[in-house]
Amino acid sequence: MTVLKRTSAGVILVLAAGGIIFAALSSDITKADSGAIQGLRIFENNCAGCHFADQEASKRGPGLKNLFARETLPATGRPVTIENVVRQLKEPFKNMPSFVDDLSESEMEAVAGYLETL
Amino acid sequence: MASAIILVMVYVAVVLSPLALVVVLHPPIEQSFLYGLGKGFALMGLVILFLQSVLAARLKWVSRPYGFDMVIRYHKYMAGAALFFLLLHPVLLAAGGAGWQLLLSAEKPSIIWLGRAALFLLLLNAVVSVYQGRLNIKFEKWRIMHNVIVPVILLAGFVHARFTGHDLAHLFPLRTHFLVLLVIAFAVFVYHRFIRPARLARTPHQVVEVLPETKDVWTVKMRPPEGTRHFDYLPGQFQFITFRRGRDLPVEEHHWTISSSPTQNFISATIKVLGDFTATIGATRPGDEAVIHAPFGRFSYALHPEEKQLVFIAGGIGVTPLMSMLRHMRDSRKDISVLFFYANKNEADIVFRKELDEIASGEYPRLRLVHVLEEADEGWQGEKGVIDQDMIKRYCDPISGLTFYLCGPPGLIESNFHGLQSLGVEDRQIRLELFTFL
């Protein structure tokens, strides 16, 4: 019984240590420490439910892979620019709600900046 | 021993494998350390949950090095670990940059709500499992709930991770890896819950005799299917039995020690009336069917042939694995010395009393019985009270070189385990049978 408890505690400690090493190796802390909430995180928590980031196929809304390689935004038809993405986040369009109450201007710009990298 | 260590290492490697894949395949991304830790804990927590079905499935190659009772306890501890990692996941994401609205806001996409729902179900499942007794939920009902709720948690967790997680969305090998683990988890679950029971049910044992041992203890003897020999087992191991008796008697799977010895030509279970199901055991009749999944456990002197001086400590129905071992020593003429402390409430509760006396008066093993009664009549010649450190010390002098086997109610096991430690007995010389799985 003691052996089991010690083994289990050892396994959990090794796993926690693995998580810490993972966090250190997978995070670019220098950039993240800049203070701004990153577009990726905002996307994951607000947008990923309706949009794929890794493919162009539609989920609930259109896939956003290669968005900035396209000429126009899929729904509104406006030119693909940071400003127009931010505008769409502010103004409800068809099924897509406004994020004015949830996201600040800089956070919306961060999301648009993230979409530019896809 | 080597296989036991290797399996633990494989387990750790599998749980950490998605993290290694992310580090190898993906350059560091713009995220804080805490945010990265939150993601890492989520990946590990999910894999631990996937592996829970493998631990619980009574697979021989998993349980053999440790004993299934130990594996199921490990399963319990790892459930706690998964809950810990997964509860920390949203907290670390929020603290790492996602903002506390991630935890508090109601206006979140459905995929976030799916993650929240999975976490809630996981917490609920853990609370109900830990407090099953206090909540007065019967084991069978708990098991059905567990079998329904857990697949839902696994699926919801996977879908949440697939559609929110940056790493799963961007890394095809990671997605494939997770999918394979999920499929394995479900395949093992289906095998354990449906395929194997159906296969075992095709070749049931047959009840041949039902003997009353005391006022509330029965021994059910069973023989294997026609033309076959009983399965191989070690004295002291246990079995899962589903009795199929008809007559509107309940059909439930329960685990009991194999109280017979492998030297005998039948399998037996000695069962105490402890609840609604066991209250019907006396209604079992010769000719009824018993579907048996066995053997399990490592609580057997046969695994330690070098040990010749044993001390058995049992309370009540905890005698059964020790009886199996004594019968095996008797039938195979083992020159072993056994001092047996056997605790019961009163004289009428002593199970196997006549047979124990016969073995004690025989040549093999060299058995010395110490009956201990809580409520002894006047004139009782044995010990009174409970088995404790002082009593063990009186009979076991010197105590070095002895190996102890403990089986019985949790209170008896726990107090005597600590008592033996206080007397200087090393942990590896104390063997326990932990018979309750929750």
The per-residue pLDDT for B150 is 92
Share of chain A above pLDDT 90, in %: 14
Q: B2-201 adopts what CATH topology?
A: Four Helix Bundle (Hemerythrin (Met), subunit A) (1.20.120)
Q: Which residues pair with B338 in a beta bridge?
A: B310, B367
CATH 3.40.50.80 fits B301-433, yes or no: yes
Of all residues in chain A, the one with the smallest CA distance to B108 is A46
Q: Which residues of A touch B426 (CB under 8 A)?
A: none
CA distance A83 to A80: 8
CA-CA distance, B49 to B38, in Å (whole number)?
Answer: 17
State the maximum Cα–Cα separation within chain A, in Å, rounded to a whole number: 67
The residue to which tokens 């499942």 are assigned: B125
| Rounded distance between C-alpha atoms, residue B99 and residue B91, angstroms | 9
Three-class HEC string of chain B: CHHHHHHHHHHHHHHHHHHHHHHHHCCCECCCHHHHHHHHHHHHHHHHHHHHHHHHCCCHHHHCCCCHHHHHHHHHHHHHHHHHHHHHHHHHHHHHHHCCHHHHCCCCCHHHHHHHHHHHHHHHHHHHHHCCCCCCCCHHHHHHHHHHHHHHHHHHHHHHHHHHCHHHHHCHHHHHHHHHHHHHHHHHHHHHHHHHHHHHHCCCEEEEEEEEEECCEEEEEEECCCCCCCCCCCCCCEEEEEEECCCCCCCCEEEEEECCCCCCCCEEEEEECCCCCHHHHHHCCCCCEEEEEEEECCCCHHHCCCCCEEEEEEEHHHHHHHHHHHHHHHHCCCCCEEEEEEEECCHHHCCCHHHHHHHHHCCCCEEEEEEEECCCCCCCCCEECCCCHHHHHHHCCCCCCCEEEEECCHHHHHHHHHHHHHCCCCHHHEEEECCCCC
What is the distance, to the nearest Å, from the Cα of residue A84 to the centroid of all Cα atoms in its chain? 18
The domain limits of chain B are 2-201, 205-296, 301-433
Residue of A106, A105, A87 lying closest to A96 (CA atoms): A87
Residue A59: per-residue pLDDT: 82
* pLDDT in the model for residue B365: 94
Q: How confident is the model at residue A30, as a pLDDT?
A: 56
Tokens in use for B257?
């020690």
Beginning with the edge strand found earlier in the chain, give each strand of the sheet holding B383-384 in spatial order.
B383-384, B366-373, B337-344, B309-315, B403-407, B430-433
Query: What's the mean pLDDT when you consider all of chain B?
Result: 91
Nearest CB among B19, B73, B109 relative to A22 is that of: B19
**What pLDDT was estimated at residue A34?**
44
Segment among A1-15, B82-96, B314-328 with least mean pLDDT: A1-15
On the question of pLDDT at A62 being above 80, the answer is yes
Q: Please, what is the average pLDDT of chain A? A: 82
Interchain CB distance below 8 Å, B32 and A7:
no
* Chain B interface includes A30 (CB < 8 A): no
Q: Does A11 touch chain B (CB under 8 A)?
A: yes
Q: By mean pLDDT, which of A13-22, B101-110, B230-239, B284-293 is the weakest?
A: B101-110
Mutate one of B7, B30, B34 to test the A interface: name it (highest A CB count within 10 A): B30
Which has the minimum average pLDDT: A36-45, A65-74, B366-375, B396-405?
Answer: A36-45
- Looking at beta carbons, which residues of chain A come within 8 Å of B1? none
The rounded distance, in Å, linking the Cα atoms of B45 and B84 is 8
Closest among B71, B73, B77 to B54, alpha carbons compared: B71
| Total residue length of chain A | 118
Q: Which residues contact B117 (CB under 8 A, 6 or more apart)?
A: B156
Cis peptide bond upstream of B173, omega within 30: no
Coarse DSSP helix, strand, coil percentages of chain A, rounded to the nearest 5 percent: 50, 5, 45
Beta-carbon neighbour count of residue B312 at 10 Å?
Answer: 26
Q: Which residues pair with B339 in a beta bridge?
A: B311, B368
Residue B304 pLDDT exceeds 60? yes
Tens digit of pLDDT for each residue in B17-34? 999 999 888 777 767 889
Give CA–CA dist B224/B149, Å, rounded.
36
CA distances from B59 to B56, B200, B253, B296 (A): 8, 14, 17, 10
Of B22, B33, B85, which has the smallest distance from its Cβ to A29's Cβ? B33
Homologous superfamily (CATH) for A38-118: Cytochrome c-like domain (1.10.760.10)
- Of the listed ranges B238-242, B347-351, B434-438, the one predicted with least confidence: B434-438
A·B CB contacts under 8 A: 150
More confident site: B331 or A112 = B331
Superfamily name and number for B205-296: Translation factors (2.40.30.10)
pLDDT at A117 exceeding the cut of 80 = no
> Which residues of chain A make contact with B39, given a CB cutoff of 8 A?
23, 26
Residue B292 contacts A where some CB pair is shorter than 8 Å: no
Flag whether residue A98 sits within 8 Å of chain B, measured between CB atoms.
no
- Verify whether the Cβ–Cβ distance A15 to B85 is below 8 Å: yes
DSSP A67: G
Q: Any idea what the Cα angle at residue B155 is, between residues B151 and B161, rounded to 5°?
A: 145
How does pLDDT run across B264-298, given as a tens digit for each residue?
Answer: 989 999 999 988 889 999 999 999 999 999 999 88
Is A27 close to B107, i.e. CB distance below 8 A? no
Count CB neighbours of B264 within 10 A.
15
Instruction: Identify the residue whose tokens are 């201990």.
Output: B372
What does the pLDDT read at residue A20?
A: 94
Among A73-82, B11-20, B201-210, B229-238, the least confident range: A73-82
A33 touches chain B (CB under 8 A): yes
On whether the CB atoms of residues B434 and A1 are closer than 8 A, the answer is yes
Instruction: Please choose, from the candidates B194, B193, B204, B200, the residue with its C-alpha nearest in 3D space to the C-alpha of residue B243.
Output: B204
Q: pLDDT over 70 for what percent of chain B?
A: 98
Taking Cα atoms as reference points, which of A21, A44, A60 lies closest to residue B36? Answer: A21
By CB neighbour count within 10 A (0-12 exposed, 13-18 middle, 19+ buried), where does B87 fall? Answer: middle
